[in-house]
């Protein structure tokens, strides 16, 4: 399999783009590979600039739940584009978008559209601080909520640790008020509130963690977070940028029966275009400008092309049987990958929720970031390279998740499993 044209473009890219990529994981450094440059996508497959075709299990990191180049989505975008691309003024489709989101997520009584998941989480946290008059927030170790300064922190030792900057350029002051706790650990949250309760504005949590690899909440965990925040007058923010319309039509909050105060959505709600949203209780959302003192703005927020694409995807996902099909495909792939690893005698465990999963190269169980980090990342790098050589496009990190789409067929899944069996035996 030749990737010479990709390598040539990568050399050009490195001269004009830092690291040659516009988002770090794309560089494939953690798996010992060079990135492929993609020319097109169709259904469950992508084709690189050298003409090689791959079964895609990234799906642009989640948004493409219908697959690539879905005709209905392309037609919708073309129709919207014929009326103009952006206005910097209100449009009716923004209202339809907000109404549609509220109907699917009743906790989001009021909604504001934005252009990225990072904007959504950053804005939700500013609003939480403005509403409560408190400064501190809690996040989990390994929980990624975009690259706002206060969220780029790393935990030290201990159950509940005040954050320190996890990136150059983040001042200590920006991270000082971020408390980092292990995922799935209610005791550490209780300890944080015992020490800092009167100063904690909110907990922000991926209700199903997706950025330490896929890690589901243990029974009672989300219920405990809801109870603790209500007891102490703090807000519970669900980051459903990944899980929104993915874990189910109503996201993780519907799946687990938990009502957060604020919710952040992204990825699928843009239908493959840049879009996100956040929303929640009306009394909280009314603190946003122009009604209240918490400022948030964006020239391209509510972009009509992204709104139209997102609405078209949501309409298709609402059809009967959609999530049953995604569950069946996800189970088929997850069971097959774990069986292949077992056959090869490789210590592994597979975490899956519906159509999202991670095969960890550790005996497991993986319940938090610390246990995820026990994985054999060198083995994963070999697995990634072997799978790519066999025509399967995996996320280039042990600590990311695979995404199955409605465009995948049973035969596609079986091809992936066969490639995994060969790759794992080879490694």
Query: Could you give the CA distance from residue 422 to residue 417 in angstroms, rounded to a whole number?
Result: 9
Q: What confidence score (pLDDT) does residue 136 get?
A: 96
Do the Cβ atoms of 378 and 368 come closer than 8 Å? no
| pTM for this predicted structure | 0.95
Active site residues: 144, 239, 267
Query: Could you give the CA distance from residue 343 to residue 95 in angstroms, rounded to a whole number?
Result: 53
Q: According to DSSP H, which parts of 216-302 are helical? A: 221-232, 251-256, 282-285
In CATH, the architecture of 71-317 is 3-Layer(aba) Sandwich (3.40)
User: Does 4-69+320-426 match 71-317 in CATH topology?
Assistant: no
Q: What confidence score (pLDDT) does residue 147 get?
A: 86
DSSP 375: S
Q: Which CATH number applies to 4-69+320-426: 3.40.50.720, 2.60.120.380, 3.90.650.10, 3.90.1150.10?
A: 3.90.1150.10
Give the closest residue to 277 by CA, choosing from 143, 123, 139: 123
Q: What confidence score (pLDDT) does residue 158 get?
A: 34
Tokens of 413: 């899944």
Task: For the chain, list residues with pLDDT below 50.
Answer: 155-163
Q: In the chain, what are the domain boundaries?
A: 4-69+320-426, 71-317
Q: What confidence score (pLDDT) does residue 161 get?
A: 42
Q: What confidence score (pLDDT) does residue 159 get?
A: 37
């Amino acid at each position: 399999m030749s990737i010479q044209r990709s390598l040539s473009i990568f050399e050009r890219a490195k001269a004009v783009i830092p690291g040659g990529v516009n988002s770090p994981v794309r560089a494939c450094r953690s798996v010992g590979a060079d990135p492929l440059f993609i020319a097109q996508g169709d259904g469950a497959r992508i084709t690189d600039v050298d003409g090689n075709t791959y079964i895609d299990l990234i799906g642009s990191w989640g948004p493409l739940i219908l697959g690539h180049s879905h005709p209905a989505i392309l037609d919708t975008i073309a129709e919207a584009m014929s009326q103009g691309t952006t206005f910097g003024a209100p449009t009716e489709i923004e209202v339809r978008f907000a109404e549609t989101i509220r109907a699917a997520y009743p906790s989001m009584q009021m909604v504001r559209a934005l252009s990225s998941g990072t904007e959504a989480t950053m804005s939700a946290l500013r609003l939480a601080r403005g509403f409560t008059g408190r400064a501190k927030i809690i996040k989990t170790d390994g929980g990624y909520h975009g690259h706002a300064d206060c969220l780029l922190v790393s935990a030290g030792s201990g159950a509940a640790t005040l954050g320190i900057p996890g990136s150059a350029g983040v001042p200590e002051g920006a991270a000082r008020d971020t408390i980092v706790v292990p995922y799935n650990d209610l005791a550490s949250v209780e300890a944080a509130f015992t020490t800092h309760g009167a100063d904690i504005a909110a907990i922000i949590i991926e209700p199903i963690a997706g950025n330490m690899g896929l890690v589901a909440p243990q029974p009672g965990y989300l219920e405990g977070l809801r109870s603790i925040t209500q007891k102490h007058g703090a807000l519970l923010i669900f980051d459903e940028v990944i899980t929104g319309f993915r874990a189910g039509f109503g996201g993780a909050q519907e799946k687990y029966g938990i009502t957060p105060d604020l919710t952040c959505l992204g990825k699928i709600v843009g239908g493959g275009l840049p879009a996100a949203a956040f929303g929640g209780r009306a009394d909280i959302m009314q603190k946003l400008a122009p009604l209240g003192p918490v400022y948030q703005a964006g020239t391209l927020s509510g972009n009509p092309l992204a709104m139209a694409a997102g609405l078209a995807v949501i309409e298709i996902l609402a059809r009967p049987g959609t999530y049953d099909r995604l569950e069946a495909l996800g189970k088929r792939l997850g069971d097959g990958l774990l069986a292949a690893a077992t056959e090869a005698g490789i210590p592994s465990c597979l975490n899956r929720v519906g159509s999202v999963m991670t095969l960890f190269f550790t005996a497991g169980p993986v319940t938090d970031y610390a246990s995820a980090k026990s994985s054999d990342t060198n083995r994963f790098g070999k697995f990634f390279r072997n799978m790519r050589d066999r025509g399967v496009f995996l996320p280039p990190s042990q600590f990311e998740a695979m995404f199955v789409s409605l465009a995948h067929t049973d035969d596609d899944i079986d091809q992936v499993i066969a490639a995994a069996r060969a790759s794992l035996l080879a490694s």
